[in-house]
Amino acid sequence: MKNLHQYMLILVAGVLGACGSMSVNDPYAEALPADFNPQEYLTLHPELHIRQIKDYVENYNANLKTALGATAYDSTKKADDAAFLADLNVVQAIYIHPQIGAHSEQQWSNVIIALGLADTTPEYKNTKKALLQYNFVGRADDYSALLTVPVDYQAVSQQYNVFGRDHGWAYRVCRPEEGANPLRSSLPIASMQKDIVKVDGSFIADEGLYCRDAAGDDRLIQ
């Protein structure tokens, strides 16, 4: 499911890049709930921002490789990757930042353990690969650079329209009077989507709208 989430965001970003900005009469914009706010939606689903950040870094590094040439780039990258991973204070700040890495302190502890293993182990290799997705090759200011990566809010809005809404993603915080609304997890559609995918891979769209309460639970907006 995680890869599908990422694929949908990349697909939407590609469509937006080809079509330009949304017009006032854009049908996707008109299909959004009247109180939809892409910034609030992104706060509830930081993985969408994280995907954009990783794509931005990947594109930056790809452009640098083209500019330098493969040989010079590979030499620069090797030294820069080592310097990036050696500064654990910066790497930790990136990893646990809620809008960059969005991981917990406990997960960071697991990273430290993995980095202490032999560099031939799968755990080390996978951890190193994951961390280096945040490394701007040839730059020493990775943390500040990551904080300035532009957010494509149109892509975020489109992701809700073409994926999040059908999958029952909460798009805003619950209001006080909605605190006792039915939990999405208690509704038939929640189990139907899980069970049908397990059986034959088909899909039933969720037609409800959802908010997220203070406990992190998603509730039906009535």
Neighbours of 28 (CB within 10 A): 16
pLDDT at res. 82: 96
pTM listed for this prediction: 0.80
Q: Return per-residue pLDDT of the chain as tens, 222 residues.
A: 444 444 454 445 444 443 444 444 555 566 899 999 999 999 999 999 999 999 999 999 999 999 999 999 999 999 999 999 999 999 999 999 988 999 999 999 999 999 999 999 999 999 999 999 999 999 999 999 999 999 999 999 999 999 999 999 999 999 999 999 999 999 999 998 887 666 666 788 999 999 999 999 999 998
Rounded to whole angstroms, the Cα distance separating 22 from 40 reads 19
Task: Sketch the domain layout of the chain as residue ranges.
Answer: 57-147, 174-222
pLDDT at res. 10: 46
